[in-house]
């Protein structure tokens, strides 16, 4: 029997990511899609077992809470919540109701990030002392009606893209000793933060996370430097573009980068092109299915996602 799924929200996240990924997973059946004025019908439907919250950030807490109290398992699109207190409350409800609760940190399954994890495991850098990740874009015109660029709580690039970069860094390296950052508005028309630099300090090691909306030049996606090797990677994972083009994660070539986008490992032996591992966002939903069925532990624990929100809150105070 398939797990019946209800999707709340049909904007970019719901239509562009969650719907095609859910439909690609054996054992999940997308039973209903609801826009915000229709969510009660999904939450109250006794046949639906899993609710996916892909609505604007300010509604994540309320809808996730309502769904779990109605007996549903819940996936929340990132960022988890606007405030960390809300995240902690949802975690408590999940424990009380014994419902699965997780957050859509899909970029853990991008090919370049998977490749970096493998290189670190293989000790390709010796003593790693610098990790730098970028999420740069160039958008110098306002986007009318874009709630992510409004003055609402949870808007701005730090919640949007910063949540991905922070989650990846915590997954790789754990809790830092100290975090500092510069979160700012660079575009004259912008009403929410549209650029940031974050520094996460570890013993003898530093993580730098950078994003901006006025970056015309080509910047690296990742740069890792160690005592015996440096890795430089340009280009974005192809999965988002493939989803927008209507391609299916069931395609045997899904998530494979062209050779010209592969990264370069530089060492005393010279330069070596490193094939990018295939990415696969669908693994997130495979894990959710298996966690609901009691076959696996959650890959994205809500406690991890809550820590990301705590870090964002701290950076927003500066």
Instruction: Calculate the CA dihedral of residues 286, 49, 28, 61 and round it to 10 degrees.
Output: -60
Q: Does residue 318 carry a pLDDT above 70? A: no
Considering the domain architecture, whether residues 264 and 229 belong to the same structural domain is answered as yes
What's the structural domain count of the chain?
2
Considering the domain architecture, whether residues 224 and 272 belong to the same structural domain is answered as yes
What pLDDT shows up at residue 142?
A: 86
What pLDDT shows up at residue 317?
A: 78
d(CA 273, CA 285): 31
Q: How many CA atoms lie within 13 A of 103 on its CB side?
A: 26
- In which band, very low, low, confident or very high, does the pLDDT at 145 lie, cut at 50, 70 and 90? confident
What pLDDT shows up at residue 77?
A: 98
Considering the domain architecture, whether residues 133 and 153 belong to the same structural domain is answered as yes
Considering the domain architecture, whether residues 274 and 197 belong to the same structural domain is answered as yes
Of 213, 98, 199, nearest in space to 148 by CA: 213
- In which band, very low, low, confident or very high, does the pLDDT at 286 lie, cut at 50, 70 and 90? very high
What pLDDT shows up at residue 65?
A: 98
Q: Does residue 309 carry a pLDDT above 80? A: yes
Query: CB atoms < 10 A from the CB of 252, how many?
Result: 6
d(CA 17, CA 52): 11
Q: Which two tokens stand for residue 31?
A: 């039973």
Which domain, by its residues, includes 83? 3-106+283-312
Considering the domain architecture, whether residues 57 and 69 belong to the same structural domain is answered as yes
In this structure, is residue 18 part of a structural domain?
yes
In this structure, is residue 317 part of a structural domain?
no
In this structure, is residue 63 part of a structural domain?
yes
In this structure, is residue 153 part of a structural domain?
yes
CATH number at residue 260: 3.30.360.10
Sign of the alpha-carbon torsion through 94, 97, 98, 101: negative
Considering the domain architecture, whether residues 150 and 163 belong to the same structural domain is answered as yes
In this structure, is residue 318 part of a structural domain?
no
Considering the domain architecture, whether residues 142 and 226 belong to the same structural domain is answered as yes
User: What digits encode the pLDDT tens for the residues 157-181?
Assistant: 999 999 999 999 999 999 999 999 9
User: What digits encode the pLDDT tens for the residues 6-64?
Assistant: 999 999 999 999 999 999 999 999 999 998 789 999 999 999 999 999 999 999 999 99
Of 89, 84, 78, nearest in space to 56 by CA: 78
User: What digits encode the pLDDT tens for the residues 127-144?
Assistant: 999 999 999 999 999 888
Of 197, 208, 211, 47, nearest in space to 131 by CA: 208
In this structure, is residue 74 part of a structural domain?
yes
What pLDDT shows up at residue 193?
A: 95
CATH number at residue 292: 3.40.50.720
Instruction: Calculate the CA dihedral of residues 173, 174, 175, 179 and round it to 10 degrees.
Output: 30
What pLDDT shows up at residue 144?
A: 82
Considering the domain architecture, whether residues 122 and 65 belong to the same structural domain is answered as no
Considering the domain architecture, whether residues 201 and 130 belong to the same structural domain is answered as yes
User: What digits encode the pLDDT tens for the residues 67-97?
Assistant: 999 999 999 999 999 999 999 999 999 999 9
Q: Please give the average per-residue pLDDT across 149-162, as a whole number.
A: 93
pTM for the predicted model, two decimal places: 0.96
What pLDDT shows up at residue 6?
A: 98
Q: Please give the average per-residue pLDDT across 181-204, as a whole number.
A: 96
Considering the domain architecture, whether residues 89 and 150 belong to the same structural domain is answered as no
Considering the domain architecture, whether residues 273 and 157 belong to the same structural domain is answered as yes
């Amino acid at each position: 029997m398939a797990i019946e799924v209800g999707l709340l929200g049909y904007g970019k996240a719901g239509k562009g990511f969650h719907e095609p990924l859910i439909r690609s997973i054996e054992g999940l059946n997308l039973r209903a899609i609801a826009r915000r004025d229709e969510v009660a019908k999904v939450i109250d439907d006794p046949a639906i077992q899993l609710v996916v919250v892909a609505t604007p950030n300010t509604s994540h807490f309320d809808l996730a809470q309502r769904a779990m109290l109605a007996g549903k398992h819940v996936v929340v699109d990132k960022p988890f919540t606007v405030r960390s207190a809300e995240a902690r409350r949802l975690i408590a409800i999940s424990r009380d109701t014994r419902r699965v609760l997780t957050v859509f940190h899909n970029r853990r399954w991008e090919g370049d990030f998977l490749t970096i994890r493998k290189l670190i495991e293989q000790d390709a850098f010796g003593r790693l002392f610098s990790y730098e990740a970028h999420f740069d874009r160039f958008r110098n015109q306002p986007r009318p009606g874009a709630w992510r660029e409004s003055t609402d709580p949870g808007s701005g690039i730090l919640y949007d893209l910063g949540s991905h970069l922070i989650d990846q860094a915590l997954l790789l390296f754990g809790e830092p000793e100290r975090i500092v950052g510069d979160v700012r508005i660079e575009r004259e028309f912008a009403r929410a933060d549209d650029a940031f630099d974050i520094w996460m300090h570890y013993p003898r090691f530093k993580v730098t996370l950078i994003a901006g909306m006025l970056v015309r030049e080509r910047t690296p996606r990742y740069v890792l430097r160690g005592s015996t090797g440096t890795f430089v990677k340009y280009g974005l994972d192809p999965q988002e573009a493939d989803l927008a083009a209507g391609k299916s994660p069931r395609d045997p070539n899904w998530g494979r980068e062209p050779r010209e986008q592969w990264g370069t490992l530089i060492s005393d032996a010279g330069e070596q092109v490193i094939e990018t591992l295939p990415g696969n966002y669908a693994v997130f939903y495979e894990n959710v299915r298996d966690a609901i069925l009691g076959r696996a532990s959650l890959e994205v624990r809500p406690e991890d996602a809550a820590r990301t929100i705590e870090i964002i809150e701290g950076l927003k105070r500066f």
